[in-house]
């Protein structure tokens, strides 16, 4: 019986054998001797002020040589226990490693979300600044942090309206009903020929004809100019007031702004000064067109609202975090699109009216696999229809698999963000109760403070009652 060792962990007695513990000599338990501080001579046992519930798992490591965790304990506790008992984490079994690592992964994810939502207001208010720096700082907060003041909030809404407006103006500028006719197409061609110029316009294409014979109305041009000036001012102010210029271009939205700045002004200058040369000079025309197309991306400025609208940011974060799954989706999709494009072409070879070349098969594969099914290209032979059926079902299956993983990730991030906001709200209410204990308190808060012994639970109730009305699940 002298081999028996008695361990008292938090009041509960554990009995095992010395030989069992000494299997792992470099751990705390493996190197125990009766001269240890933990030894209690009177009771002939070692005393550890630890949680006895968790100790069975630790002891099982010595008995079995490997660690298996129960799943109901938070991973934080296991980290503490392994550190205290000096057990290396490489002894965790493969099947239980996910249980152990889940806590840290979740924590990293929560921290990652938190970092994305840090409001830089606080950072400014802590240290004093000179006059000019103070103005810069106020402008920066005004432009960057809609939550910093009411004016900033109003500005951010106004900013979004301008973005929306900048999305609608090019739509209107391409609509035949809005544009004003300036010249007849035949006269234009006659004039062009008269001047011995090359005309890059296809007379049969009504869209190109419209562009050369009509101009947007005055009010639309003015609106466009206003938008251009507004965004230019905003960008210059934003850059000038930015406290960390190095990090400025790391944000892809700021980088986009710079590109758009040059594109917008290039368009403006060309339209003002070289409008006539556009018809003569193909290079200039192409350059102009590229700039015009670039301006489309003004729309992405909508993503500036992610500061306020956390759900949208979570969506973007999910897409970015799913880069691997998107790659998988793209590659599988590509392989099957190429495969079905080949198959459908050969299957439909004897039908004179369908799939005149294999490149059309690519388009048909994409349209069928995504179940869009426009019907512009449809197989007509029996073989072609069998290929088509396989293509449609494969598409459903192959897309369902990675999309389920991506949607799952979004769900996870979304829920973690909701929990983070709940936790933040709880601490904000507690802080408010402590800071203003008597004057600015709402009825509900004061009620909860009266019976201080029940503070914790009552507080929560009032908190959750509010939630009931918000139908916040």
CB of 177 to its own copies, least distance (A): 9
Regarding 288 and contact with its own copies (CB under 8 A), the answer is: no
Is 65 a binding residue for its own copies by CB under 8 A? The answer is: no
Nearest-angstrom CA–CA distance, 212 and 326: 42
Among 34, 44, 147, 389, binds its own copies (CB under 8 A): 389
Q: Are 458 and 451 in contact (CB under 8 A)?
A: yes
Q: Is 68 in the site for its own copies (CB under 8 A)?
A: yes
Q: Decide if residue 220 touches its own copies (CB under 8 A).
A: no
Q: Which one, of 106, 65, 94, 100, lies nearest residue 81 by Cα?
A: 100
C-alpha to C-alpha distance for 1 and 19, rounded to whole angstroms: 12
The interface with its own copies within residues 365-384 (CB under 8 A) comprises 366-368, 370-376, 378, 382
Residue 262 CB, shortest distance to its own copies, in Å, is 18
List the interface residues with its own copies, window 112-171 (CB under 8 A). 112, 167, 170-171
Q: Is 16 an interacting residue with respect to its own copies (CB under 8 A)?
A: yes
C-alpha dihedral, 280 to 286 to 291 to 295, nearest 10°: 100
Answer for which of 65, 88, 134, 437 binds its own copies (CB under 8 A) is 88
Nearer to its own copies, 134 or 408 (CB): 408
First to last CA, the chain: 59
- Residues 92/98/104/108 CA torsion (nearest 10 deg): 150
Rounded to the nearest whole angstrom, what is the least distance from the CB of residue 109 to its own copies in the complex?
A: 6
Q: Which is nearer to its own copies, 241 or 354 (CB)?
A: 354
Q: Per CB under 8 A, does 63 bind its own copies?
A: yes
Q: Which of residues 301-320 bind its own copies (CB under 8 A)?
A: 302-303, 309, 311-312, 315, 318-320
Give least dist CB 84 to its own copies, A: 10
Residue 143, C-beta contacts closer than 8 angstroms, at least 6 positions apart: 152, 155, 234, 237, 238, 241
Contacts (Cβ under 8 Å, ≥6 apart) of 409: 318, 321, 322, 325
CB of 283 to its own copies, least distance (A): 17
The first and second tokens of residue 389, run together, are 């059926």
Q: In what order do the strands lie in the sheet with 45-48?
A: 12-17, 4-9, 45-48, 39-40
Judged by CB under 8 A, the chain residues 414 through 433 that form the site for its own copies are: 414, 419-420, 422-423, 426-427, 430
CA distance 411 to 55: 35
Binder to its own copies among 139, 261, 292, 462 (CB under 8 A)? 292
Q: Which of 126, 132, 357, 443 binds its own copies (CB under 8 A)?
A: 357
Shortest separation between residue 471's beta carbon and its own copies, angstroms: 5
How far apart are CB 386 and its own copies at their closest, in Å? 9
Give the alpha-carbon dihedral of 453, 455, 458, 464, to 10 degrees: -160
Based on the shown chain and the rule CB under 8 A, indicate whether residue 175 belongs to the binding site for its own copies. Answer: yes
- Range 315-344, binding its own copies (CB under 8 A): 315, 318-321, 323-329, 331-333, 335, 338-339, 341-343
Q: Which is nearer to its own copies, 149 or 444 (CB)?
A: 444
The dihedral region occupied by 30, where left means phi > 0, alpha psi between -120 and 50, and beta the remainder, is alpha
* Contact call for residue 362 and its own copies (CB under 8 A): yes
Where are the alpha helices (H) located in 47-197, listed in sequence order? 52-64, 75-84, 97-116, 121-125, 131-144, 150-173, 185-194
């Amino acid at each position: 019986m002298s081999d028996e060792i008695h361990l008292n962990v938090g009041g509960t007695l554990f009995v095992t054998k010395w030989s069992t513990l000494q299997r792992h000599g470099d751990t705390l338990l493996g190197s125990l001797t009766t001269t240890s501080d933990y030894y209690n001579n009177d009771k002939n046992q070692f005393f550890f002020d630890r949680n006895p519930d968790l100790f069975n798992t630790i002891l099982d490591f010595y008995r079995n040589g490997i660690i298996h965790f129960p799943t109901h304990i938070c991973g934080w506790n296991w980290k503490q226990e392994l550190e205290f008992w000096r057990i290396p984490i490489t002894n965790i079994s493969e099947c239980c490693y996910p249980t152990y690592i889940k806590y840290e992964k979740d924590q990293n994810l929560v921290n990652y979300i938190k970092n994305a939502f840090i409001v830089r207001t606080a950072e400014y208010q802590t240290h004093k600044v000179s006059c000019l720096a103070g103005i810069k700082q106020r402008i920066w907060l005004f432009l960057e942090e809609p939550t910093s003041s009411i004016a900033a909030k109003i500005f951010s809404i106004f900013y979004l309206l301008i973005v929306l407006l900048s999305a609608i103006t090019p739509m209107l500028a391409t609509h035949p009903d809005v544009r004003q006719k300036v010249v007849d197409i035949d006269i234009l061609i006659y004039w062009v020929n008269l001047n011995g110029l090359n005309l890059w316009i296809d007379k049969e294409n009504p869209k190109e004809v419209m562009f050369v014979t009509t101009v947007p109305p005055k009010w639309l041009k003015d609106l466009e100019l206003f938008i251009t000036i507004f965004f230019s001012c905003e960008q210059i102010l934003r850059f000038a007031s930015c406290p960390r210029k190095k990090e400025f271009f790391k944000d892809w939205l700021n980088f986009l702004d710079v590109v758009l700045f040059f594109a917008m002004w290039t368009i403006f200058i060309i339209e003002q000064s070289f409008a006539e040369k556009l018809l003569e000079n193909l290079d200039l025309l192409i350059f102009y067109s590229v700039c015009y197309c670039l301006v489309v991306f003004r729309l992405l400025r909508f993503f500036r609202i992610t500061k306020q609208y956390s759900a949208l940011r979570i969506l973007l974060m999910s897409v970015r975090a799913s880069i691997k799954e998107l790659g998988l989706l793209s590659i599988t999709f590509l392989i099957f699109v190429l495969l079905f494009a080949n198959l459908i072409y050969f299957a439909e070879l004897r039908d004179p009216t369908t799939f005149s070349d294999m490149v059309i098969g690519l388009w048909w594969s994409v349209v069928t696999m995504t179940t869009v099914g426009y019907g512009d290209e449809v197989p007509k032979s029996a073989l072609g229809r069998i290929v088509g059926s396989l293509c449609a079902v494969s598409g459903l299956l192959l897309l369902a698999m990675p999309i389920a993983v991506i949607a799952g990730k979004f769900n996870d991030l979304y829920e973690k963000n909701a929990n983070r906001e709940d936790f933040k709200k709880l601490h904000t209410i507690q802080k408010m109760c402590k800071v203003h204990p008597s004057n600015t308190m709402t009825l509900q808060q004061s009620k909860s403070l009266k019976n201080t012994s029940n503070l914790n639970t009552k507080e929560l109730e009032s908190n959750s009652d509010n939630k009931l009305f918000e139908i916040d699940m």
